Chain A
Amino acid sequence: MKELSVENLHVTIADQEIVRGLTLRVPRGEVHALMGPNGSGKSTLAKVLAGHPDYQVTKGKVMMDGENLLELEPDERARRGLFMAFQYPSEVPGVTIANFLRAAIQSRLPEGEELEATDYYAKLYEKMELLGMDRSFTSRAVNEGFSGGEKKRTEILQLAMLEPKYAVLDETDSGLDIDALKTVAHGVNSLRGPDLGVLLITHYQRLLNYIIPDHVHVMVAGRIVRSGRKELALELEERGYDWAREGAAEPVLR
């Protein structure tokens, strides 16, 4: 089965359990939204999927197309097709977007194979146009001095260039004005297709007006309490997270 699957995942940081028995499946070709209040463990899940060293997985499994992700280094996960758009992307001083992405793509090529520069730039410019980014951006250092919106666009640009099998978008909508949100959503929508599975993490329903998910999951206190079709997001917006908690199969700690 081509899917990103999380099974009964438990995660702690500094002896505190943040994710408490989370189970989730994102098949390739689908967009799943993961919604939840602040502190529910959404971002922790994203970081654990990507392999952040600060978090400890105490129990559970994470598989990508049948391969155990938890045994792999963050860069190995990335090269095998996992992408994460960061909520707070790091600055990489002095390294231009063009050079950074080039190194990232080069790392995916077999040894001895060199990236063809003209093809690379043609693709880069095409994707930048899609995201309404000026070409001069390529020579700016990654995220250095970028506005919130510029950072998020750059994350989606990287997603478009790296062509992963699964993308985890962590609060990509936060800090965006409506125009930037539309551009980012347009970018993500253009990448949708049978070869990409998306886990869209968001606090607000707003983003889901522009990126229509196939499924919606609600996460509260470290686990999924409700799952449904896209209408669930609207219902949640109307009734609030307390309603979601009440509907949980078993009591949820607050």
Chain B
Amino acid sequence: MKTETSAVDINRNIGDFAYPEVHVRDAGAGLSEKTIHYISDVKEDPDWVREYRLRGLKTFLEKPLPTHWASKDLEAIDFDKIRYYLSPGTAAKRSWDEVPEDIKRTFERLGIPEQERKFLAGVEAQFDSEAVYSNIKKAVGEQGVIFVGSTEGLKNHPEIFRKWFGKVIPIGDNKFSALNSAVFSGGSFIYVPPGVKVKHPLQAYFRINAENFGQFERTLIIADEGSEVTYMEGCTAPKFNTTTLHSAVVELVALKGAKIQYITVQNWSANVFNLVTKRGLAHENAEVKWIDCNIGSRLTMKYPSVIMKGRKARGEVLSIALANDGQHQDTGAKMIHAADETTSNIISKSISIGKGRATYRGLVHVPKHLKNCKNNTECDALLINATSRTDTYPAITVRGTGNAVQHEASVSQVSAEQIFYMQQRGLTEAQAMSLSVNGFVNDLVRQFPMEYSVELKRLIELEMEGSVG
């Protein structure tokens, strides 16, 4: 089969570039108490943060890798070779004019349209481990919304930050949450006051721009009573030759009646280990919704969770995973029902291409004493090639009476007849495959904000190039 270029004008090299690094603060490779003190000194951490980091380190060193259930590929991470802290040595910027030219150039190469750059007014972009650009949209600021980097958050808003930090995901939750607790830097801190509905999504761009450098951002979002906020996180990383570790922790707190929607499009380069812990706490009548798309990375292990703590709380995870050659997307969702009348919904779609592997792990927990809880789980897998692989591990424990759970799973393939049919209409085999895959995820993508659904479709088209023939 001939190779055809995609009908969509995409530069394959996008996201595949790097600019000269200016790292004046470097903790060196490897991890020890010395590293922690170095980080705390440079960041001028309050004492409680330094102690928190040291506890994180201790827990990290004690905990084994979860290879008894997870991929043995984790053993390929050489923790001694990773540099755990790096700062461009610049303070967070507030205006567009102050943003370094090469970073502006990065946005340009990513093809962010002019229109979307307007959004950048309310964007926090992270390059390497510090926020180099942080401009709170004026309107958001006037509403009393705090949208800053986590370092700034813990220093300038300790009364809110400290109350919730580490409460949703404790240090010892897992080995990688412990690692993040030890070396975290960057990430966002957002507080939305009671009743405030943030109209535009708050966005953050993350990049890795240093070889062998792990990124450990820490994000904490608190939506106070009756408030609403959407946060968007997207990554397009430069490609490097050596193994890179990305291990973030994201904690969401939706107080009574609040709504948080957290959207991720993950497109790390194929050498990145993306081991992320994401969890939301939904109080009475509150809603936490994760929209999670994993396109890139070598190994992603990520299971966004919602603990429904208050009556009538709702949790939702919509996820799309695309695993190409050399990739393992080990993703899923966890729904912990901890109050009556709580409802949760999980829709997961995975696509495996070539020798790619997609794994779904889902956990739904409804204890015996609860009443009128509902869960709906749908997980669909699409296999593109005969060498593609998918596995599903649902763990559903629903006890008691009056609780309802519904689980559907499917594995399908794009049939040769379907491709022939589409080719007969003039589409190349690659275009036909790409359109089929977009069709497979279409009903989910439709629920995404416009700019992300377009970006996602493009990413899928890019991934599908060269997957046929």
Contacts and interface: CB of A to CB of B under 8 A. Distances in A.
Interface of A: 50-53, 73-75, 77-79, 83-84, 86, 89-95, 99-101, 103-108, 112, 141, 158, 162
B49 interface: no
Contacts of A106: 7
28 contacts: A50-B420, A52-B420, A73-B428, A74-B423, A75-B431, A75-B432, A79-B426, A90-B415, A90-B418, A90-B420, A90-B422, A92-B421, A92-B422, A92-B436, A93-B440, A94-B440, A94-B442, A94-B443, A95-B442, A100-B422, A100-B425, A104-B426, A104-B427, A106-B7, A107-B7, A107-B425, A107-B428, A162-B426
A74 B4 CA distance: 14
Nearest to A85: B424
B420 A53 contact: yes
B424 A74 contact: yes
A78 B438 contact: no
Contacts of B439: 92-95, 141
B320 to A, nearest CB: 12
B405 to A, nearest CB: 26
A162 B424 CA distance: 11
A43 to B, nearest CB: 13
B439 to A, nearest CB: 3
Nearest to A90: B421
3 closest residue pairs by CB, A with B: A94-B439, A95-B439, A90-B421
Nearest to B446: A94
Question: Chain A CB within 10 Å — which of B417, B424, B436, B438 has the most?
Answer: B424
B436 to A, nearest CB: 7
Contacts of A92: 418, 421-422, 435-436, 439
B441 interface: yes
Nearest to B417: A90
B442 A73 contact: no
Given A53-B416, A89-B421, A95 B427 contact: no
Nearest to A91: B418
B437 to A, nearest CB: 9
Contact of A78 (B416, B417, B425): B425
Contacts of B440: 93-94
Contact of B7 (A74, A94, A103): A103
A120 B2 CA distance: 29
Contact of B423 (A78, A93, A101, A108): A78
Contacts of B421: 86, 89-90, 92
A106 B9 CA distance: 13
Contact of A103 (B2, B420, B431, B443): B431
Given A92-B435, A103-B431, A103-B435, A78 B418 contact: no
A73 B423 contact: yes
Question: Chain B CB within 10 Å — which of A52, A75, A95 has the most?
Answer: A75
Interface string B332-375: 00000000000000000000000000000000000000000000
Contacts of B443: 94
